[in-house]
Structure 1
Amino acid sequence: MSAALLGTERRTPPVVVRPGRSAAAALLDAAAVSTVRRRAALRPALAADRPAPAPDDPRPVIPPAARRRLALLLADRGGTVGSSRRGTAPDLTELLPQWLAAAQAHGYRAPEALLPALLDAARARTDLRPAALALAGPRALWLARFNGDWKFALRGTGARATPGADDPEAVRRRWDEGLFAERVALLTAVRRSAPDAGRDLLAGTWSAEHAEDRLLFLDTLREGLSPDDEAFLEGALSDRSRTVRATAAELLSTLPESAFATRMAARAHACVTLTPGPAPRPARPGSAGPSGPGLTVTPPRACDEGMRRDGVAAKAPSDRGERAWWLGQLVEAAPLHRWSERCGGRAPEDIVALPVADGWRTELHDAWCRAAIRQRDTVWARALLGAPGAAPQDAGVASGGSSRDTAKLLTVLPSDERAAWVAGFIAAHGLADAFRMLGVCAVPWAEPLGRAVVDALDIARDAGSYPWSFSGVMGLAERCLDPAAADRLDMLTAVTDEPEGASPGSGGYWSEAFQRLVGTLRLRATMLAELTDAFGPDADADAPSLSPSPSPVTE
């Protein structure tokens, strides 16, 4: 490139010049060879039989503007690693997953010239592989067979299509002869269309499977799980592998009318008693008050053989007491809808509000949270989360000694209700405990949630802190805010006066952060417009640039 730019008379090109040829011609020859090699994506080797042609991909190729955008996204290597100050340029590596998802939603395929770069990107980032391979299509799999660096693309795909439940002979042959990945894919596909046939297929070879294989096969029964699977899962409770037993118990606990659920409910209810009169005086802060109905907890004194068979782990972690450990497992596996009868017909929100004696509130509520996540019980999840404006410990947020996962509990709620709850929490408590909650909200964020996040960031700026203290939330905002919010955020890009006691230079740093946020939102809007061919086939020259103009702060 240097020789071409300067001229071969000023710089000798690093190529072999054959007799009778000029240096300029030799340089062009070398460029042509390099271009062919790059397009072929094939390492030089001895000539062999010509491969069969690549399969056809009937999907439409992405529009020209979007094609060039993808090339730029794939070429970007980032430049902010190890630096706390990123400047105003959008992080293109974080936009690539969104671009791939949007292109896939339109039903496009990648252009052939970009397949090598797309495979290289998927090789480097496992999170990109599903979307990248979907966009690349069958031609990428054909190409991957010629380069060992891309063998990841062939894993689990198999050269053969997975037979359906309507072809029992082919199903049985694949189950008996297929590789492990093919058998897992087969079992998943059969369970999706004919759950009973899938279970019977697994039952026929269950005793001959390896323990690690049994575990993964058993996990596929989540697809189409029903009471018809109870007998098979009950048998798996006696498996010689502890992890297989635990998985079978977990699956049975999601069948609320199963015999397993009834056994676990009886054990859990024996540990938790509703006291109609004054509750016992609390032993630790956060437990029951001195009057009114409440709950008294008496954890198991031993982990008997029946409990162990039903998946209760007898050995507690080093940071947990044995009895508390057993109690949590029993309550987690007990059907939540049966607690209403145990607590005098009370609704979940009333049960959660009951005081708990002797400091057992955290253990009991944490176990209920895990049960709500496992059983996908929206009513109980809503009751356990409480009002987002309440104190953190009353708003479903883990406090000291708690093991609850508020983000997972939020996933049980419908997406719009989830976003509204997180918005209310941020408005009341700020961003300190909100990062993981934001990560489970649907993208783009609903307008109230986006407004709450931006308001909280603005408050943090007014407090004089540095923006990289909120870099995680800011990064999520760049990827998850509605692009339509960019114009409303323009006013935040100005450099403001720093309050007394503020961190030195924080005003300029915040200006950069908000400029990057606005620039990224506008770039995302442009990317989406390009995928709809809004720019037309020849509009790339006028399309917005990936790199915004330098800001006065950076200059």
Structure 2
Amino acid sequence: MNRTSAPVDAPAPGVWEELVTTALLGTERRTPPGGAPGREAPLALLDAAAVETVRRRAGLRPAKAAARPEPVAEDHRPALPAAAARRLALLLADRPGTSGGRRGTAPDLMELLPQWLASANARGFAAPPQAVPALLDAARGRTDLRPAALKFAGPRAMWLARLNPDWRFALRATPGGGTALPHPEDTERIRVLWDEGLFAERVALLSALRAREPAAARELLATTWSTERAEDRLMFLDSLRTGLGPQDEPFLEQALSDRSRNVRATAAELLSALPGSALAARMAVRATACIAVDHTLDSPTIAVEAPPECDASMERDGVVAKPPAGRGERSWWLGQLVEATPLGTWSARLGGRTPREIVALPVADDWQSDLHAAWCRAAVRQRDPEWSRTLLGTPSAPEAGGPGAVSLAERAKLLATLDAAERADWVAGFIAAHGLSEAFQLLGVCAVPWSEPLGRAVIDALDIARDAGSYPWSFSGVMGLAERCLDPAEAGRLNGLLAIPDESEDASPGAGGYWAEAFQRLVTTLRLRRTMAEELEPE
């Protein structure tokens, strides 16, 4: 006897969406499609979802074969040494949260990955092909990793990013999306890319050209400047910071008349960084009219008369007329004039005094904080080490502020204008005088690895904090920096801190054991960093 199979009903349109909605709302509030309310409704929902899943998968029709992607560009960089390749796999396998709560003495591998990538890039190695997907995943989750990770991953990362939407960030993070930039002598290709390229490609082209031939980049920008959008003009103008020089002044002077306030402000900032510019001279005339030495008092004193108004010429030169909330108009205008004035102006204006003598002068009528803060901004903008050194003051100065710096953030900016050795010595002196409670921001501007005096100051301060009976997580930020920034050669100096000390009566319970664990982790991390550096040496 012939048996005819019962026909299978075709799935109704929207069934899957209906099942998802029911699952979200709950079967008590919504009956599964084709089912009945009651105790069996959840099972009916799961059964229906299972059947629909099979239908959806089995019902897919073969699609037309797509064209094969072009082969990835060849990477001519040397391969990683085998030991370094194994180390990279371990670093990439470590993910935030995979270790559970407390780390114990185990190093934080993900925090060592940026340093490892920087070392590998400095040696010119290529990433192992099998590691590129994990590198892209790591860079996707951490924007701070992206520049180094994408540089190390090379052309294969761009090739994969075009095939996987999850990695499209790489196309945005890489100038030009990985597009090969034309050679500087290929003027025709440069012109075509500048006229027809995507915005990211044009930014990459201008930045690369500016680094090699500043004048050519500026001339290229000038050809289309008047037709660019305001937000694009601002981005393009920012690229002129590289190689900024007196030859850029005519172009920047024209930009002072731009219809965009942000473009005008950026042009004024760049011109004020050129002490010989006409704008700097105009600002100096305005600022010196407001500041002079008053000899009528018992001792020479700086007298300040803030500008009474912000006229059109001041606004054209980048002075923002409206102050932020809580700030007086006249002090706001004065600060902008002073920070844009060449610092060399003040010696002649204030009786031939040196920066140190000028900063030491009393300032009348409570203008000292405004005036010194403006000089701080000028020293940072003009990268003037003598003024920065003066405004920083001595590391042992009380509280956070020196003669001119009123916050640790300002001190950090001033420190960045000094050379690496002087910066490290100053921060070491600050830690010796004030401990670690306010040092984190200052340590962040110091070169890595830390110099021996700075490393010794940090270790000694951690030892003092331990003896004071506090818990180590009060200094977790500094401890984390030490793991990444201490010279690995300092590991031997920490051996005496690994034992659990006897706890005093006023110590926090168990603090000694936690400190021993933290120091053990620090030593382990330093030794691992030394091993990682050795593994990156060519075989």
Tell me if both proteins adopt one fold, taking TM over 0.5 as the criterion: yes
Point out the structure with max Rg over C-alpha: 2
> Shift of the alpha carbon at 1:404?
6.0
The structure 2 residue matched to 1:73, chosen from 64, 70, 91, is 91
Instruction: Choose which of 86, 108, 111 in structure 1 pairs with 2:125.
Output: 108
Deviation at 1:216, TM superposition (A): 0.5
Structure-to-structure mapping, 1:46-195, within 5 angstroms: 48-79=66-97, 85-155=102-172, 156-158=175-177, 160-195=179-214
> Matches of 2:94 and 2:537 in 1, distance apart?
23
Amino acid at match of 2:440: F
CA contact (8 A) 2:372 2:405 kept: no
Match of 2:487 among 474, 477, 482: 482
- What is the aligned partner in structure 2 of residue 308 from structure 1? 315
Is 1:200 aligned with 2:199? Answer: no
Structure 1 residues 526, 382: closer, same or farther in 2, change over 3 A?
Answer: same
Q: Describe the superposition over 1:432-485 as per-residue Cα deviations: whole angstroms up to 9, x where unpaired.
A: 221111001000000000000111111111111111111111110010000111
Q: Structure 1 159/382 Cα, relative in aligned 2: closer, same or farther at 3 Å?
A: closer
**What is the match of residue 27 of structure 2?**
none
In 2, distance between residues paired with 1:239 and 1:273?
34
SS at match of 2:308: coil
Q: CA deviation at 1:394?
A: 5.6
Asked whether the 8 Å contact 1:274–1:343 carries over to 2, the reply is yes
Tell me the equivalent position of 1:275: 294
DSSP 3-state at the match of 1:315:
coil
List per-residue Cα deviations over 1:482-507 (Å, max 9, x = no partner). Answer: 01111110111111122332222211
Alpha-carbon distance in structure 2 between the residues aligned to 1:327 and 1:469: 41
What does the per-residue CA deviation read over 1:370-415, in whole Å, with 9 as the maximum and x for residues that have no partner? 111111111111111121123245636854xx69611111110001
Question: Which ranges in structure 2 are unaligned for 5 or more consecutive residues?
Answer: 1-61
Q: CA deviation at 1:363?
A: 1.1
Contact map agreement 2:391 2:404 (CA 8 A) in 1: no
Q: Distance in 1 between matches of 2:293 and 2:226?
A: 45
Q: What one-letter code is carried by the residue in structure 2 that aligns with 1:419?
A: A
Cα distance change of structure 1 residues 473 and 267 upon mapping to structure 2, 3 Å threshold: same
- Report the Cα distance in structure 1 between the residues aligned to 2:443 and 2:243, rounded to whole angstroms: 30
Structure 2 residue corresponding to 1:514, chosen from 519, 523, 531: 519
Letter in 2 for 1:116: P
- Work out whether residues 139 and 149 of structure 2, in 8 Å CA contact, stay in contact via their aligned partners in 1: yes
How far, CA to CA, are the matches of 1:338 and 1:143 in structure 2? 55
CA distance in 1: counterparts of 2:519 and 2:422, whole angstroms: 28
Alignment of 1:326 with 2:333, yes or no, is yes
Give per-residue Cα distances to partners, 1:2-27, cap 9 Å, x unaligned.
xxxxxxxxxxxxxxxxxxxxxxxxxx
Moved more, 521-530 or 148-157: 148-157
Give the AA of the match of 1:201. Answer: L
Matched letter for residue 391 of structure 2: L
Structure having greater relative contact order (Cα 8 Å, sep ≥ 6): 1
Q: Which residue number corresponds to residue 272 of structure 2?
A: 253
For the 8 Å contact 1:398–1:406, the answer to whether it is kept is yes
CA distance in 2, matches of 1:142, 1:339: 56
**Residue 382 of structure 1: SS of its match in structure 2?**
helix
- State how far apart, in whole Å, the 2-side matches of 1:73 and 1:45 are: 39
Runs of at least 5 residues in structure 1 that lack an aligned partner in the other structure: 1-43, 279-290, 537-555
Is this contact kept in 2: 1:261–1:334, CA < 8 A? yes
Matches within 5 A, 1:346-385: 346-385=353-392
Q: CA deviation at 1:170?
A: 2.1
Q: How does 1:366-445 map to 2 (within 5 A)?
A: 366-392=373-399, 395=402, 398-399=405-406, 405-445=410-450
1:146-197 deviation line (CA, Å, top 9, x unaligned) = 2111122223344642224423222222111111111111122222233222
Cα 1:174–1:53 shift into 2, 3 Å: closer
CA separation of 1:310/1:523 partners in 2, compared to 1, >3 Å: closer, same or farther? same
1:14-50: per-residue Cα shift (whole Å, max 9, x none)? xxxxxxxxxxxxxxxxxxxxxxxxxxxxxx9975444
CA–CA separation in structure 2 for the residues paired with 1:262 and 1:428: 41
1:123 alignment partner AA: R
Supply the distance in 2 between the matched residues of 1:188 and 1:143 (Cα, whole angstroms): 25
- Asked whether the 8 Å contact 1:397–1:404 carries over to 2, the reply is no
Residue 468 of structure 1 is matched in structure 2 by 473
Partner of 1:221: 240
The residue that corresponds to 1:345 in the other structure is 352
- CA–CA distance in structure 2, aligned partners of residues 46 and 132 of structure 1: 35
Q: Residue 125 of structure 2 aligns to which amino acid in structure 1?
A: Y
Q: Residues 392 and 405 of structure 2 are in contact (CA less than 8 Å); yes or no, is this contact kept in structure 1?
A: no
Post-superposition offset of 1:306: 1.4
Q: Which amino acid in the other structure matches residue 456 of structure 1?
A: A
Structure 1 CA distance for aligned equivalents of residues 70 and 219 of structure 2: 39
- Name the CA distance, whole Å, in 1 between partners of 2:395 and 2:340: 27
Q: Distance in 1 between matches of 2:79 and 2:307?
A: 63
Partner of 1:26: none
Go from structure 1 to structure 2 and tell me whether the alpha carbon gap of 1:473 and 1:371 turns closer, same or farther (over 3 Å shift).
same
Letter in 1 for 2:476: S
**Counterpart Cα distance in 2 of 1:45 and 1:488:** 66
Cα pair 1:493 1:514 within 8 Å, conserved? yes
When normalised by structure 1's length, the TM-score is 0.82
* Identical aligned residues as a percent: 67
- Distance in 1 of aligned mates of 2:348 and 2:400: 26
- Per the alignment, in what secondary structure is the counterpart of residue 336 of structure 1? coil
In the TM superposition, residue 200 of structure 1 has moved relative to its aligned partner by 2.0
Q: Report if aligned partners of 2:158, 2:177 keep a CA contact under 8 Å in 1.
A: no
Q: Secondary structure at the match of 1:351?
A: helix
Q: CA deviation at 1:143?
A: 2.4
Q: Sort the Cα spacing of 1:163 and 1:524 in 2 relative to 1 into closer, same or farther, 3 A.
A: same
Deviation at 1:292, TM superposition (A): 2.0
Q: Find the aligned partners of 1:188 and 1:264 in 2 and give their Cα distance.
A: 29
Number of corresponding residues: 476
- From the superposition, tell whether residues 255 and 81 of structure 1 become closer, same or farther in structure 2 (CA, over 3 Å): farther
Separation (CA, whole Å) in 2 of partners of 1:294 and 1:497: 57
Does structure 2 conserve the Cα–Cα contact (< 8 Å) formed by 1:389 and 1:395? Answer: no
